[in-house]
Structure 1
Amino acid sequence: MYNKFSEKLLGELHARLESLSLVELSPVPLLKAQVSAVADALKDLTDFLAAHPPLDKQEEIGYYKFTYPRFKSLIVYYTEYHYLLVGVPESGLKAKKKYYLSRLSAIAAFFEQHTLHYDYFRLDGGMLDELFYSAVDAGNVLQPIVLGYGPFLGTAMSELVSWFMALERLRNDILRLLHGLSGPGPMSATVVDPTGTLQREFKWTGEDIHLIELVHGIHLTGQVNNGSIGIVELFKVVGTFFGVNLRVPKRGFDDLKARKTMSKTAFLDMMRSAVLKKMDEDDAYDPEKARRRNGF
């Protein structure tokens, strides 16, 4: 009974919120308008509930478990998002990153504080639904204690679920903001991608002169862009990728030529030896491999 009405109401609410985002309003008036729009929808929803009481316990549970939090979470989200933006440092990339990371830590701490109820929410549990999503035992020790934004029109658990939904959405926003600060970034830097995943770090841990030798070899044999890329640009790209300052290409080449105690192409020689050794090892007779290959 509630699904059709709530879906229509939620669609109208999202349309109203979308229209507000297109209007040039300062942060506080925008927040007031957003909260007012959600509060109006919540009133319509609860008026409908009063006029059409749940037919049975399962319908009541469904309302407080799924329907109500979808609306109430929007009040929590828009309010918390407003406070997030208000607190962003005005300048300093490092300060902004530190701020966003602190907010992520605060969200994680909230989820940890409510571990039992958050796990129940995430796992979509059902065994305690009657306790959490009906008025059967509001004083039970398992009931959560909720402090937040009014109006409180649901059960304690449905109010807490609204927070879970809002903070998960806010967490994704913060991760996107962090990614925006990091940009695509060099692969030698650990950055947050749009999904919140830390990109794997790639760092050149060998000697810088070896990388210089490798880049010169790549350039002189025309392996990139059919040889059309300049040596300075290639040095910059490879150096950025591995997080190494390769300096001026000519100076690096002079360092290669100035080697006294080893081959002028020591790293390329080392690579050649390593590849040949690997080939020899693979070609060496292995009775066990031969047995598996021949099937006996």
Structure 2
Amino acid sequence: MLFDVCERELRVMEDALVKINAHFNAPLDRVTPALAVIRKSLDFLRGHLVEHPLASVEEQVLYAKVLLPKFYAWYIYHQEWYAIWSAVPVAVPKKVRAFWLDELRVVNRFPSRYALQHAYYRLSDTSLDELLFVPGVAEPGNRLVPEIPEFDAMFPTPCSYLFAKFRAFGLLSASMMEAMAGTPPMVHAPASSRKRTREMRWTGDAINLVELGFGIYDTKQLNEGNASLAEIFEWMEEVLHVRIGRPARRFEELEGRKKISPTDFLDRMRHGINLRIDKKNTYDPEAEEAKRRRKEKRAQLAAKIKKARGGDDGKLSTDN
């Protein structure tokens, strides 16, 4: 029951965040409405726990390790994203890119401060769940329990908050890499100089993104191979404005395919690219002849212009 209730509320919250992203073009304009939406969902969780206290150790671990961090990660993400954009310098693109690279290093370096806990998070380990996520179990001074100065009181244990921060910084890293893919984002640049692109939405079948997500994960394409499946799915959902679902459940759909290949979409992509290459490399006599004629016409036109200007000296001819 707890899982279903939280997942429904999470979908409501994330749908609202997608709408906010679509409505506000400037990142600095999104933070206030986004945080308001997230706070509303966090208040919902608090109220639900008051009415339905966690009844077992399993529920306590599920809530502290998985459910609450999913919500609060977005809260941390939007605060940090706002802080980064607010600090973008008014400078030439080269210096702005240096700023973004420095910020990316800071974000990617954060997990190393809690290497043991981050390894536990990344590997989805469960052997220490009760120690790390059930309040009162760990003895004071236990090295496995991190000391976090900004530890939020709504979290049952410090490690629960830390898992939310790991998730948030994974989202931040993905957003920063996406932002840096082209011209360095300059929040203070004149409006006329900012690159405006149409919002992109995934309109194909979500199961196709499942294939892409597992392909990206298995070939270690993001964050030096350290991005988890959950982070990759969440990144695709946020960027492409689509609901994909839980990786494990969607993978079962791929495994269960009988009439088509489990990698049908990737197979079609490979086939399409090969066709494009074959088409480009195929010798077409008519196309080659047309290309030759166009080249000759350009050469003749260039010769006429050169003659009209009197040769290479760039002066107009005085001959009648």
TM-score by length of 2: 0.55
- Provide the C-alpha distance between the structure 1 equivalents of 2:95 and 2:132, rounded to a whole number of angstroms: 41
1:39 paired to 2:39: yes
Q: 1:46–1:145: structure 2 CA closer, same or farther, 3 Å change rule? A: same
Q: 1:180–1:76: structure 2 CA closer, same or farther, 3 Å change rule? A: same
Corresponding position of 1:277: none
Corresponding position of 2:170: 168
Corresponding position of 1:156: 158
Q: 1:226–1:117: structure 2 CA closer, same or farther, 3 Å change rule? A: farther
Structure 1 residues 19-38: aligned runs within 5 Å: 19-24=19-24, 30-38=30-38
1:137 paired to 2:138: yes
Corresponding position of 2:315: none
SS at match of 1:180: coil
Q: Which amino acid aligns with 1:80?
A: E
Corresponding position of 1:99: 99
1:65 paired to 2:30: no
- Provide the C-alpha distance between the structure 2 equivalents of 1:152 and 1:138, rounded to a whole number of angstroms: 20
SS at match of 1:114: helix
| Percent of aligned pairs with the same amino acid | 22
Q: Which amino acid aligns with 1:167?
A: F
Superposition deviation, residue 104 in structure 1: 1.6
Superposition deviation, residue 22 in structure 1: 3.7
Corresponding position of 1:6: 6
Q: Indicate the structure whose relative CO is greater, using CA pairs within 8 Å and at least 6 residues apart.
A: 2
Corresponding position of 2:180: 178
Q: Return the index of the structure with the highest Cα Rg.
A: 1
- Provide the C-alpha distance between the structure 2 equivalents of 1:137 and 1:47, rounded to a whole number of angstroms: 27
- Provide the C-alpha distance between the structure 1 equivalents of 2:151 and 2:79, rounded to a whole number of angstroms: 9
TM-score by length of 1: 0.59
- Provide the C-alpha distance between the structure 2 equivalents of 1:195 and 1:109, rounded to a whole number of angstroms: 15
Superposition deviation, residue 105 in structure 1: 1.2
1:56 paired to 2:56: yes
Q: Is the 8 A contact 2:6 2:67 kept in 1?
A: yes
Superposition deviation, residue 36 in structure 1: 1.9
- Provide the C-alpha distance between the structure 2 equivalents of 1:84 and 1:95, rounded to a whole number of angstroms: 15
- Provide the C-alpha distance between the structure 1 equivalents of 2:101 and 2:6, rounded to a whole number of angstroms: 36
Superposition deviation, residue 133 in structure 1: 0.8
* Structure 1, gaps ≥5 residues long: 183-193, 198-224, 232-296
Superposition deviation, residue 173 in structure 1: 1.0
TM-superposition CA deviations, 1:180-223 (whole Å, max 9, x none): 128xxxxxxxxxxx9567xxxxxxxxxxxxxxxxxxxxxxxxxx
Q: 1:154–1:39: structure 2 CA closer, same or farther, 3 Å change rule? A: farther
Q: 1:78–1:138: structure 2 CA closer, same or farther, 3 Å change rule? A: farther
Structure 1 residues 226-241: aligned runs within 5 Å: 226=288, 228=291
- Provide the C-alpha distance between the structure 2 equivalents of 1:93 and 1:77, rounded to a whole number of angstroms: 25
Q: Is the 8 A contact 2:152 2:161 kept in 1?
A: no
Corresponding position of 2:87: 87
SS at match of 1:20: helix
Q: Which amino acid aligns with 1:154?
A: P
RMSD, matched Cα: 3.0
- Provide the C-alpha distance between the structure 1 equivalents of 2:63 and 2:21, rounded to a whole number of angstroms: 29
Q: 1:161–1:196: structure 2 CA closer, same or farther, 3 Å change rule? A: closer
TM-superposition CA deviations, 1:27-80 (whole Å, max 9, x none): 666322211211111111122122212221112111111101000101100011
Deviates more, 1:157-166 or 1:39-48: 39-48
- Provide the C-alpha distance between the structure 2 equivalents of 1:21 and 1:40, rounded to a whole number of angstroms: 17
Q: Which amino acid aligns with 1:170?
A: L
